Amino acid sequence: MALSVEGWTHLEPKVKTLWLVQAGISGVIMTVIFGVVGTVIQSNADESLTVPVALIGIAVGLLLGVIKAILTGVKYAHTGYQVGDDDLAYASGIFWRTQRFVPRARIQHVDLTAGPIARKLDLVEVSISVGGQPGAAITIPGLAADDGERLRQTLLKTAAKHDEMDDGPGGSPVPEPPVYQEPPEVSEAGETDERA
């Protein structure tokens, strides 16, 4: 069975720009790291190395950044979410695809976050937390700020409605606490006094 997101809500298309910028930044960082490591290896090696190891390191860093950038479109095509009557579903993955379903009744809080690049693109990341699980159960990146706020309101309304059902009329009855009663008095002969 193929995990398809056909008919699901896709992320904001601007998220591809965010991912490309992130791929570029990580590519530069990897290029610098591989270049420095290559330089250190070259300086400690004997002089028989004809190809500068630093250049190989830089090429590897650049190649990894380019591959990450190329896969951005594939990642976007397989990422989406769907708000059902009873659950929230999120799908992601390039080679290993995952679909995660969270019951809406268990959602405790919804957070919106945005880094500096995402804010420039007017994008937010929505993190959904459920009871009994540390951290976010689902994190949906790359939603337009308005769409993220709408999703947050929709999910929180469901949580509030579920809380009202538990506490209000028609929900589970809350048992009355037991009432303390004095034990009957016992006479010296061992008989209980039932006059109360």
What digits encode the pLDDT tens for the residues 89-142? 999 988 888 999 999 888 888 999 999 999 999 999 999 998 777 778 899 999
Residue 133 in contact with residue 29, Cβ under 8 Å? no
Structurally, how many domains does the chain consist of?
Answer: 2
Which H or E run contains 83? strand 80-83
Domain shared by 53 and 88, yes or no: no
> Which pLDDT belongs to residue 144?
94
Residue 151 domain flag: yes
Q: How far apart are CA 86 and CA 60, in angstroms?
A: 46
Last-in-domain residue among 49, 76, 103: 76
Domain shared by 69 and 23, yes or no: yes
Residue 124 domain flag: yes
Over residues 54-101, the pLDDT tens digits come to: 677 778 777 887 888 889 989 999 999 999 888 999 999 888 889 999
Last-in-domain residue among 76, 99, 115: 76
Q: What is the CATH number of the domain that holds 150?
A: 2.30.29
Whether the predicted pLDDT of 161 surpasses 80: no
Domain shared by 66 and 18, yes or no: yes
Residue 69 domain flag: yes
Residue 43 domain flag: yes
Q: Which residues contact 17 (CB under 8 A, 6 or more apart)?
A: 121
Model confidence, pTM? 0.68
Residue 4 domain flag: no
Range of the domain at 45: 11-76
SS3 70: helix
Whether the predicted pLDDT of 1 surpasses 50: no
Domain shared by 161 and 141, yes or no: yes
Query: Could you tell me which of 126, 150, 122, 146 has the C-alpha nearest to residue 138?
Result: 126
If one compares 179 and 172, the residue with the highest pLDDT of the two is 179
Q: What is the DSSP letter of 104?
A: G
Query: Could you tell me which of 134, 83, 82, 86 has the C-alpha nearest to residue 106?
Result: 86
Whether the predicted pLDDT of 145 surpasses 70: yes
- pLDDT category at 189 given cuts 50, 70, 90 is low
Domain shared by 104 and 154, yes or no: yes
Domain shared by 120 and 98, yes or no: yes
Domain shared by 122 and 162, yes or no: yes
Mean pLDDT of all residues belonging to the chain: 80
If one compares 165 and 102, the residue with the highest pLDDT of the two is 102
Domain shared by 68 and 87, yes or no: no
Q: How far apart are CA 167 and CA 175, in angstroms?
A: 12
Domain shared by 18 and 62, yes or no: yes
Residue 55 domain flag: yes
Residue 183 domain flag: no
Last-in-domain residue among 21, 44, 76: 76
Domain shared by 92 and 161, yes or no: yes
User: What's 29-61 look like in SS3?
Assistant: HHHHHHHHHHHHHHHHCCCCCCCCHHHHHHHHH
Distance, CA of 196 to chain centre: 62
